[in-house]
Structure 1
Amino acid sequence: MRATPSGLTAEASVFEGYMRRARGIDASFSGPAEVSEALQTGAAGEPRQLESGMIAYAAVAALQEPRFVDGLRGSRADRGDLARRLASDPAYALELPGGEAAAARAAGALASQGEALRAQGLKVKRAAYSVQHQAWSKRNVPDPRGRLARVKQLSSEPMRGGEDAARLYAAMAEGGRRGGAASPAVTRAVAVAALNVLGQEGRGRALMSEPRTASCLRIAKLNLYQCLAAAGPQYEDIFCLGEHAMAETGSCVADATRASRVSYRR
């Protein structure tokens, strides 16, 4: 396990913590209180923080590639010039020794997180249908406007961190490696990792966002709001939770590792 900059690790831990809590939502609902609690858990992902945390998570995974880190530390190239090159052309990080292997680690770690959340979201979505044999699920949600306002408030609040590093690295190890062409998000993550090794964390901040992923996460959140605004009975809240807060968000994360624009079908 390679040591990583504390700031990057903190952001990665926030991302990992949210994804773990969201995919921990149990699809076996027995009453409105459980639906409300699950909805609050799933809605607690602030899109911009989720995006930057996602890239930080992939960057920390890239830093677990020994050849990549050792190559940067032992490089005879001028560090300032190298940092400027990486900041202006993130894809250059893939050409560095161990760069492609670092990208494979980053893609594997990130894809694993997204796929797991998507899979659990689909289970919750299916529960929206199976739960309808229970009478409570067909009763309307009380104070739907208040519920939507609370979800929007949660979605705008900073996500909490404080997760331990051991849990973070264990989650990354489970992701393995994913080869193939690096996506824009993974490419940026590898460049961020390189800049952190070079002591140029400030330059890396500008790379902690990726337009395609940012748009996907924002749309997923808007779809959640629209779904809840139209929802009536409890089972429809379960559907909105599974489809948009979980499966769609998970697809955004998994798709961020794909070089093409092909998306998962939900």
Structure 2
Amino acid sequence: MQRKWLAFVFAGLLAGTGLMIHADAAAQQRPKAGAPKAAAKKAPARKAAPKATKAAPKVTTVPAGILIPPGANTLGAHAALYAAYANDVNGLSVGSITTGRGLTVSTERIARHLNSDRLALGIIAYGAAWAASEPEFVTEVRKAEATMGRDALIARLRSDITFARSLPGGEQAAQSAARVVLADAARIQTQGDAFKQAAYDWQRFAWAKASTADSKARNAALRALVPPPPLAAPSVTFSTLPDANPTSQSRQVRTQVLQRGLNISTPAAREAIVLTDPIRPYSPIDRMVAVAALTAIGAPSDRKEDTEALMRDPRLVSCVNSSRLNMQMCNAATKQPYERSFCLAEHPLGEIAKCMAKVVR
């Protein structure tokens, strides 16, 4: 009996101790009386701060898309983007570079154009501007508009990019676009070859072999790819490029406008281009001819969305974008100026020339 009583007392003590431990634990989990409730609301405020930081750049950063002046003919404005690149390429001079800084400036001047949308759409627009100078093609497009109706014709051009080239004069328009693009590509490749050779020749000079301390800033600048400043006077003529006109006199005027706006290839160089094989269907050339058809009916002025959709060739955009990425990686790996000359030759020049040379295939 005595043993049972002792066991009962001992169990009671254990139960009391357990209750005390539980009560202490619960007290520790409850907020202290002195802590204001507002303290618990501070956590969401701290979490919201990073969101505000991320959203801020969206307000201040310049959009990556193509900036077209209000009211501009979108074909001419986009062609001017390519003209700006081509004129900068034409202005390169290996002989004028005598310092690492000079080479950096030349590289950045070309690299700023390598936004894939800007340059790729500009190439299509420039070829289309030349295709639209074929009078027979322009006349036939306008006949198709009279027969089908403007909206139906635009819808057909967007759904089948080969349709425009199937019209009378369409093949001549395609060849006109192909010649100017291929002639420019050859000129760009020539500049690239000159800088590639310079990468070997400059190794004789101390400035070309000296390791530079500006690699971090230089690579950051190339990654930023700041777009070109506002278009210079020679390129502005593209922004006001008139819609195509079938008369021979206006064709001559239009051709002169195109030639004045871009000095990279000569008429003789374009005429020397021989197209040994037929232009492949559904190539970027077909897009150029389709955009030229839109130009013949004045669509680049009031149907910009349709025009720009036809300009966007996925393969050409991807090719130009690849050139940009390869240029950035190449420059990041360089340590001496003569190595950067190879990067300039191989990617912003050589790769772009190859992208353009593929438009017929």
TM-score by length of 2: 0.66
Pairwise CA distance, 1:151: 1.3
Structure-to-structure mapping, 1:118-129, within 5 angstroms:
118-129=189-200
2:98 aligned with 1:30, yes or no? Answer: yes
Partner of 2:86: 19
Partner of 1:88: 159
Q: Which moved more, 1:144-153 or 1:21-30?
A: 21-30
Contact 2:132 2:295 in 1 (8 A): no
Pairwise CA distance, 1:10: 2.1
2:304 aligned with 1:233, yes or no? Answer: no
Pairwise CA distance, 1:178: 5.6
Q: Aligned to 1:40, which of 104, 108, 124?
A: 108
3-state SS of 1:242 partner: helix
- Give the Cα separation in 1 of the matches to 2:259 and 2:137: 17
Which whole-Å deviations, capped at 9, do the CAs of 1:210-242 have from their partners, x for residues lacking one?
A: 121111111111110110110001111111111
Q: Which moved more, 1:39-48 or 1:199-208?
A: 199-208
Contact 1:23 1:121 in 2 (8 A): no
- Structure 1 residue runs of 5 or longer lacking an equivalent are 260-266
Which whole-Å deviations, capped at 9, do the CAs of 1:161-217 have from their partners, x for residues lacking one?
A: 341535633548723466421461110111011122223333222111112111111
- Give the Cα separation in 2 of the matches to 1:44 and 1:252: 17
Pairwise CA distance, 1:156: 4.9
2:168 aligned with 1:97, yes or no? Answer: yes
2:216 aligned with 1:145, yes or no? Answer: yes
- Give the Cα separation in 2 of the matches to 1:199 and 1:105: 20
Q: Which has the higher contact order (CA 8 A, sep 6+)?
A: 1
Q: Which amino acid aligns with 2:176?
A: R
Pairwise CA distance, 1:48: 1.1
- Give the Cα separation in 2 of the matches to 1:136 and 1:73: 60
- Give the Cα separation in 2 of the matches to 1:133 and 1:111: 35
Q: Aligned to 2:178, which of 107, 112, 115?
A: 107
Partner of 1:193: 292
Contact 1:18 1:159 in 2 (8 A): no
Partner of 2:141: 72
**Counterparts in 2 of 1:141 and 1:249: CA distance versus 1, 3 Å:** farther
Contact 1:124 1:238 in 2 (8 A): yes
Q: Which amino acid aligns with 1:61?
A: W
- Give the Cα separation in 1 of the matches to 2:189 and 2:75: 25
Partner of 1:208: 311
Compute the RMSD of aligned alpha carbons.
2.0
Contact 2:116 2:318 in 1 (8 A): no
Partner of 2:74: 7
Q: Aligned to 2:227, which of 149, 154, 157?
A: 157
TM-score by length of 1: 0.88
- Give me the identity figure in percent: 31
- Give the Cα separation in 2 of the matches to 1:21 and 1:61: 21
Partner of 1:168: 258
Q: Which moved more, 1:127-136 or 1:106-115?
A: 106-115
Q: Which moved more, 1:160-169 or 1:230-239?
A: 160-169
Contact 1:16 1:168 in 2 (8 A): no
- Give the Cα separation in 2 of the matches to 1:147 and 1:173: 34
- Give the Cα separation in 1 of the matches to 2:213 and 2:201: 22
Q: Which amino acid aligns with 2:117?
A: R
Whose radius of gyration is greater, 1 or 2? 2
2:279 aligned with 1:181, yes or no? Answer: yes
3-state SS of 2:223 partner: helix
Contact 1:107 1:178 in 2 (8 A): no
Partner of 1:51: 120
3-state SS of 1:181 partner: coil
Partner of 2:349: 246
